[in-house]
Amino acid sequence: MIVQMDEKLKKEMSREGSHLKYTRSRGGAGAGLIAAGVCFIVIAIILAAALYTILGLSAVAVLLAGGLVLGAVFIVPGVFLDKRHTAGYMKYYMKKSGYTEAELNEFDREFLNGEAYVACLDKKLTKQSKFDSGIITNNWFKLPLMMPIKYSGLYRIVDVAAIFFEAKPIVNGERLNPTLFVVDSRGDGMTVSMKENVGNEIVREISKRNPRAVTTRRISYNGKDYDALYQYQEVAGLYREICKSR
């Protein structure tokens, strides 16, 4: 589903005035260390409670103290790494997206101050699905499910050369799940599996904002046929030519 965001939802999906910082705050080695440390502490507490009558107070105290120390050994550096991971969100997005800091700040401003929509892949928004959701503003589009580790999934809408959805795609002879395909003007492609209703809604919203974007897999132009799935770089080149000529 695609839902227009209100101020409350925007606040929930931003961190210190930035949606990009919010998405970057998820994951990373620091979060893993913190989770491990908490697990050690919880296990120590459970064992202490279970073994109290058998081992006695002194032994349980030693067990509990050991668990707390071990947990702290993981949590303290985890907090440091997590803060460093999140603080570097801008450099990360600049590297992964190819956009400048000024352009990325423009996205955050549009998200916070303009009309923005959230593309949720689930039936309702939860804490988890908010992280996984896509974002559409007047000029920007962030793909759903782009946990910011390898890809940014962020595009200026004018840079979307092709975006189309296929309910039963067959790629290299293999049947895939229902998938949204995106090709940017540089000729890079990205795919995200999602339900048909959400995928088609996203295509419609992007098409409204960028009528030049290709919205079907197969097209014909000047007597030549193109398959945007296999010839995505050619389609991106065609899109650049069309944009230059107008």
Q: Give residue 123's pLDDT.
A: 83
Q: Give residue 125's pLDDT.
A: 85
3-state SS assignment for residue 2: strand
Average pLDDT over residues 115-120: 94
- CA 146 – CA 218 distance, rounded (Å): 26
Q: Give residue 29's pLDDT.
A: 44
Number of neighbouring beta carbons within 10 Å of residue 53:
8
Residues 6 or more apart in contact with residue 107 via CB below 8 angstroms: 19, 20, 99, 137, 140, 142, 154
Tens digit of pLDDT for each residue in 169-199? Answer: 888 888 989 999 999 999 998 999 999 999 9
- Give the model's confidence band at 136: pLDDT under 50 very low, under 70 low, under 90 confident, else very high: very high
- Give the model's confidence band at 48: pLDDT under 50 very low, under 70 low, under 90 confident, else very high: low
Residues 6 or more apart in contact with residue 22 via CB below 8 angstroms: 13, 14, 15
Q: Are 148 and 94 in contact (CB under 8 A)?
A: no
Q: End-to-end CA distance of the chain, in Å?
A: 34
Q: If you average pLDDT over every residue of the chain, what do you get? A: 82
Tens digit of pLDDT for each residue in 26-40? Answer: 654 444 555 665 676
Q: Does 146 have pLDDT greater than 80?
A: no
Q: Give residue 92's pLDDT.
A: 84
As given in the structure block, the two tokens for residue 17 are 């005035």
Number of neighbouring beta carbons within 10 Å of residue 123:
9
- CA 106 – CA 124 distance, rounded (Å): 28
Q: Does 200 have pLDDT greater than 80?
A: yes
Q: pLDDT higher for 229 or 25?
A: 229
Q: Give residue 80's pLDDT.
A: 45
Q: Are 202 and 149 in contact (CB under 8 A)?
A: no
